[in-house]
């Protein structure tokens, strides 16, 4: 009975945060395995993310969507890389499907305390449009705490965007708390401001406002990992977003 009450409290907190806090974009696959944001040496993975945003419930034609494709590889014990391309964000009226940007990311694990109890990573990434009119460089420092079956993430972000000869500097970040369910699945809540999908980089947002709330659910199925994210924009933003990710991880003799 006590265990059922505990799960009810966790779910209640998740729903509360989903409607009242901010939003992140996390790779919960690594959290499920109590890892930092660095993929292990020789470990390869690829994923596809699709996002759909309801910008105005009274105007379905204004709903927007886009897709993102990434590959990951662990180059060294504490360093991995990621490369990705994205399609242009489009509304249902426009219905365009063209690759308009690419990204590259390097992740370095600077600290590993207590055999994985605490991780401090350094991330440097670059995003640019195919036409090179907009360039964004992002530096971030995720802090990951593994406490029993709970994972706490605090992730400050600094973003520099250069477009039309002008520079724009933005401080933001995201954080979240997740619960590991028998090493098979994960559920979590998150908060974000001016970071990742809710930022104005390349004019792409899952939610219209700079702050939003998310509820995450992820689970393993063979060599596939599924992550679903439900987001609500805040600060008078009326939009809702849904993001679904399918990740394929390859067996190259390296076990995560």
Return d(Cα 201, Cα 196) in angstroms, integer: 8
* Residue percentage of the chain with pLDDT more than 70: 74
Q: Record the pTM.
A: 0.79
Output DSSP code: residue 195.
Answer: S
Reported as a pLDDT band with limits 50, 70 and 90, residue 5 is very low
Reported as a pLDDT band with limits 50, 70 and 90, residue 191 is confident
**Closest residue by Cα to residue 234 from 178, 190, 179, 169:** 190
- State residue 154's pLDDT score: 93
CA atoms within 13 Å, Cβ hemisphere of 201: 28
**Closest residue by Cα to residue 177 from 146, 156, 210, 134:** 146
Beta carbons of 40 and 221 less than 8 angstroms apart: no
**Cβ neighbours of 61 (radius 10 Å):** 10
Return d(Cα 83, Cα 69) in angstroms, integer: 8
Beta carbons of 139 and 123 less than 8 angstroms apart: yes
Helix (H) or strand (E) holding 30: helix 28-32
Return d(Cα 76, Cα 124) in angstroms, integer: 16
pLDDT higher at 16 or 222:
222
pLDDT higher at 81 or 209:
81
Average pLDDT over residues 121-142: 83
Average pLDDT over residues 178-193: 90
CA atoms within 13 Å, Cβ hemisphere of 107: 23
Question: Please, what are the domains in the chain?
Answer: 2-250 (2.40.160.40)
pLDDT in tens, 80-103: 999 999 887 777 777 666 777 889
Output DSSP code: residue 70.
Answer: E
**Which tokens in the block code for residue 33?**
């395995």
pLDDT in tens, 52-78: 888 777 777 778 888 899 999 999 999
Beta carbons of 220 and 230 less than 8 angstroms apart: no
Q: Highest mean pLDDT: which of 11-15, 39-43, 117-121?
A: 117-121
The yes-or-no verdict on residue 108 having pLDDT over 70 is: yes
The yes-or-no verdict on residue 12 having pLDDT over 50 is: no
**What is the sign, positive or negative, of the torsion defined by CA atoms of 243, 170, 189, 177?**
positive
- State residue 10's pLDDT score: 38
């Amino acid at each position: 009975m006590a265990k059922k009450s505990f799960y009810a409290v966790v779910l209640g907190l998740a729903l509360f945060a989903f409607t009242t806090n901010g939003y992140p974009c996390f790779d919960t696959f690594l959290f499920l395995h109590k890892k930092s944001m660095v993929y292990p040496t020789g470990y390869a993975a690829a994923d596809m993310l699709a996002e759909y945003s309801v910008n105005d419930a009274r105007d379905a034609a204004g709903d927007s969507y886009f897709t993102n494709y990434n590959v990951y590889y662990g180059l060294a014990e504490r360093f991995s890389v990621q490369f990705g391309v994205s399609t242009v964000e489009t509304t249902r009226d426009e219905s365009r499907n063209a690759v308009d940007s690419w990204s590259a990311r390097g992740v370095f694990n600077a600290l590993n305390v207590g055999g994985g109890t605490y991780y401090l990573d350094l991330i440097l990434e670059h995003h640019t449009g195919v036409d090179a009119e907009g360039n964004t460089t992002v530096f971030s420092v995720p802090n990951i705490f593994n406490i029993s079956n709970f994972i706490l993430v605090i992730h400050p972000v600094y973003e520099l965007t250069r477009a039309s000869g002008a520079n724009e500097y933005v401080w933001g970040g995201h954080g979240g708390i997740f619960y590991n369910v028998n090493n098979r699945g994960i559920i979590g809540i998150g908060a974000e401001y001016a970071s990742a999908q809710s930022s104005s980089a390349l004019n792409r947002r899952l939610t219209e406002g700079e702050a939003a709330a998310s509820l995450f659910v992820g689970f393993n199925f063979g060599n596939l990992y599924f992550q679903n994210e439900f987001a609500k924009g805040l600060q008078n933003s009326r939009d809702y977003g849904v993001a679904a990710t399918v990740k394929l991880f390859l067996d190259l003799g390296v076990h995560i």
